[in-house]
Amino acid sequence: MLRIENIHFSYGKDEVLKSVTLSLNASMNCLLGPNGSGKSTLLKIITGILPPRCGTIRTEKVDILNLSPRERSKMISYVPQEFSINFPYKVSDVVLMGRNPYINLLEGPKTDDEKIVLHYLRLLNIENLKDKPFTHLSGGQKRMVLIARGLAQEGKIMLFDEPTMSLDFKNQLLVLTVIEKISKKFNKCVLLSLHDPNLALLFCDELFLLKGGKIIREGIPNKTITEESMMELYNLKTLLVSTSNERSFVVPKKDFLNTLFLGEKDDFRKNRKKDTSAPERRS
């Protein structure tokens, strides 16, 4: 569906991406990597927000990098990590902005566009939010509205930059379930970035581990996420636990965390014991 080849990018002297090459063939593709590994940068380059220093991005037919912003935005929907909307636009207006690639800029949207907006709001079960001001929604609701905007853009390729960011446990699952359903039902090619390997294991078909601006591993989640690869990606000792339905989950080793982050392991333990015993004495 999308072939990204040999992408280089740097902010000033900092080289952020070093020859990134990947192909998106599955429907749910995921970028996993530590902070500053270049996930967001890569998504922005694919969208066209940042120009790569060199490299190619293309589908079977078209060279994406040579398209105008308008043509590109018809193929690629981008759902940003942060909510940058400062004015209390109505939810339906926000989603309507997703129709921009198809709208005559001087005339504005048509009634057909409004119908499409309504359709996607219904699809995501957020029609009730339609007249609410965007700035007053909860984090989970805002995320759903931006997903609806991405859908209204009707790109075959949808990019999500950390769609689970600042959401509670349930809303993270809600958002990812919705994205997964969209990708399967409408045959979209989704690329999203995540921070939680367990969510990647639960929802994704194809995984790319990004570290220091390079893809260090790729493949299906169960094969890609291993104790070794977590060590390589995050420098963390983890345990891979399999559940009865053949899913596996990553569990960090607590002892290792204490040594890693707090240095002197024994001292810390002593202190903690003191702390817990203090309230007991008082009672």
Partner 1 sequence: MKKIKARDFIYVASYIVVFIVSLFIGRLWFSPFGMNGINKIIFIDVRLPRAIIVSLAGASLGLAGIAFQNLFRNYLAGPGILGVTSGSAFGAVFAILIFQFNPYLIQSSSFIFGIIAVVLAYKLGSLIGKGLLSLILAGMVVSAIFGGFIGLAKYLADPYNKLPTIVFWLLGSFSGIRWIDVEVSFLPMVIGIVGLISMRWVFNILSLGDEEATALGINAKRWRIAAIILATLCSSAATSVGGMIAWIGLVSPHIARLMTGVDNKKLVPMTAIVGAFLLLVCDTVARSLTASEIPLSIVTDFVGAPILFIILVKRRKMYYVKD
Binding site for partner 1 (CB under 8 A): 44, 47-49, 69-74, 76-78, 80, 84-90, 93, 97-98, 100-101, 103, 105-109, 133, 135-136, 153
Nearer to partner 1, 158 or 215 (CB): 158
For residue 133, the cross-strand partners are 90
Output the smallest distance, CB 50 to partner 1, in A. Answer: 9
Instruction: Determine which helix (DSSP H) or strand (DSSP E) holds 216, and give its type and residue range.
Output: strand 214-219
Output the smallest distance, CB 76 to partner 1, in A. Answer: 8
How many Cα atoms are found within 13 Å in the side-chain-facing hemisphere of 54?
A: 3
Output the smallest distance, CB 122 to partner 1, in A. Answer: 21
Nearer to partner 1, 191 or 199 (CB): 191
How do beta strands 76-79 and 189-194 pair?
unpaired
Output the smallest distance, CB 160 to partner 1, in A. Answer: 12
Nearer to partner 1, 14 or 275 (CB): 14
Nearer to partner 1, 76 or 117 (CB): 76
Output the smallest distance, CB 86 to partner 1, in A. Answer: 4
How large is the angle between the packed helices 139-152 and 169-185, nearest 10 degrees?
10
Output the smallest distance, CB 136 to partner 1, in A. Answer: 7
Residue 185: CB partners within 8 Å, gap ≥ 6? none
Beta-sheet strand order (sheet of 206-211): 76-79, 157-160, 189-194, 28-32, 206-211, 214-219
Contact in structure between 137 and 91 (CB atoms under 8 Å): yes
- Dihedral of alpha carbons 189, 181, 137, 114, sign: positive
Nearer to partner 1, 15 or 114 (CB): 114
Q: Is 12 exposed, middle or buried (0-12, 13-18, 19+ CB in 10 A)?
A: exposed
Beta-sheet strand order (sheet of 54-58): 14-24, 2-11, 54-58
CA distance 94 to 97: 5
Closest CA to 253 of 270, 272, 267, 240: 240
CA distance 78 to 80: 6
Nearer to partner 1, 44 or 211 (CB): 44
Output the smallest distance, CB 125 to partner 1, in A. Answer: 24
DSSP for residue 63: B
Nearer to partner 1, 192 or 233 (CB): 192
Output the smallest distance, CB 84 to partner 1, in A. Answer: 5
Nearer to partner 1, 110 or 273 (CB): 110
